[in-house]
Amino acid sequence: SLRNVSITDILGRDPVWLDWQGIQAGLHDKTILVTGGGGSIGSELCKQLANIQPRKLIIFDQCEFNLYKIDAELSRQFPQLQHSAILGDVTQALAVQQIIEVQKPEVVFHAAAYKHVPLLENQAREAVHNNLIGTKIVAEASIAAGVERFVLISTDKAVNPTNVMGATKRAAEILCQNLDKTSNTRFTTVRFGNVLDSAGSVVPLFREQIRAGGPVTVTHPDITRYFMTIPEACQLIMLAETVGKGGEVFVLDMGEPVKIVYLAEQMIRLSGKVPGKDIHIEFVGLRPGEKLYEELFHNEEQLMETGYSKLRLAKARVYEDDGWFGTVQALTLACRQPGRQDILLLLKQLVPEFKSEI
C-alpha cells in the first residue's frame, strides 16, 4: 500500500509556514464569504478560517455534495462557529448580489473556478462564463455592498497562457486589478502552482494507477511543475488578505519546479515498488494547451519584496486600454451565441499574451 505522500518526500523541501499571528489579527471576528468553499482549496481554507474564529463564515458552492461535506465537517469540528452553507452559482448575478447584500461580508475569498486544462480547452464558453464572468459578478456585487477586501485565487497558468483556462484566469486577474483602481474595495490576487493532492490533480491519479499495478502515465519526459500543499495554499490566501494593499499579485516561493516523471518515480518507490521494473511509466504526449513548464511571473511584472521570506509579490501591470470592459461585455454576449471562434478572439483581445491556435 502507498503511504500518504508528504511534501518532503516529493519536493525535497520543508513545508512553508507564514505569519500565523498576522493572519489571525487580520481575520479574527470578521464576516467572511468563501466562494467555491466546498472544493479542495475552499474547504481547507474554511477549516483554517474557522480556527481564527471569524464572526461568521459563509460558504458558497454550486456542488451540493461538497457543500454538505464541508458544512457537516465544520459543525462537527467547530460547534461554536457561526456559519452558513449556501448552494448557488457565481454566474447567477441576482443570487450573488442578494447573498452579499444580506450576509454583508467584510472579506470575500473567491475560490470558485473551473480548473481542468484539457476539459476546458474544448469548452471555452463554460470556462469564460465561470472563471471571468463569475468573477466579475462576485466582484461587482462586493463593491456594491461595501466589502472591504476581495482575494482572487488564481494560477501560474495565467502567466503567458497557452490554454483557455489560463487565459480566463489572467483575464480575471486584470479585471480585479482594474477594479482595485476604481473602487473602495481592495482587490488582491494570489497565484498558485499545482496543489499537491487537490481533487483531480496528478498525485491522486498516480496513486490510483500504482494501486492498479500501472502503468503510470506522464505526458512528457521533461514536463515540470511548481508544487505546494493545500495548507500552504490556504496560508498564502489568508496572508495576502492581511498584507495586501490592493492591486498586487502574491506568489509563494515554492522552491524549484519538480519533474513530473520524478514525482511518478518517487511515488512508485514509496509504494515499495521499483520504477520501470514492477511498475512502468508511459509517456502519453502533451495534452491540448499544456506547457512543458510554468512561470510564476510575467516578465513585465515588477517583482518586489514583501518582508516575508517565502512570500513574493508582483506589482500590477497597468492596463491603459479604455475599451477593456467593453470587450468583457462583448465576450459576455458572445457566450450566449453558438461557436467558439468569437470567444477565443475576444479573450485574446483581453489577454494579448494568450497563445492559442486562433
Q: Which residues are catalytic?
A: 157
Give the DSSP letter string of 56-124. Answer: EEEEEES-HHHHHHHHHHHHHH-TT--EEEEE--TT-HHHHHHHHHHH--SEEEE------HHHHHT-H
User: What cell numbers appear for 198 in the block?
Assistant: 487537490
Per DSSP, 283 falls in state E
Distance CA 208, CA 206 (A): 5
Question: Which residues fall within 8 angstroms of residue 193, CB to CB, at 6 or more apart?
Answer: 156, 225, 226, 227, 228, 252, 254, 257, 294, 296
Q: How far apart are the first and last CA of the chain?
A: 46
Distance CA 227, CA 129 (A): 27
C-beta of residue 50 within 8 angstroms of C-beta of residue 74: yes
319 residue type, one letter: Y
| Residue of 90, 53, 47, 103 lying closest to 70 (CA atoms) | 47
Per DSSP, 247 falls in state S
Distance CA 93, CA 145 (A): 13
C-beta of residue 27 within 8 angstroms of C-beta of residue 241: yes
User: What cell numbers appear for 339 in the block?
Assistant: 461557436
C-beta of residue 251 within 8 angstroms of C-beta of residue 312: yes
Which residue is listed with cell 489579527? Answer: 25
C-beta atoms surrounding 15 within 10 Å:
13
Distance CA 202, CA 219 (A): 11
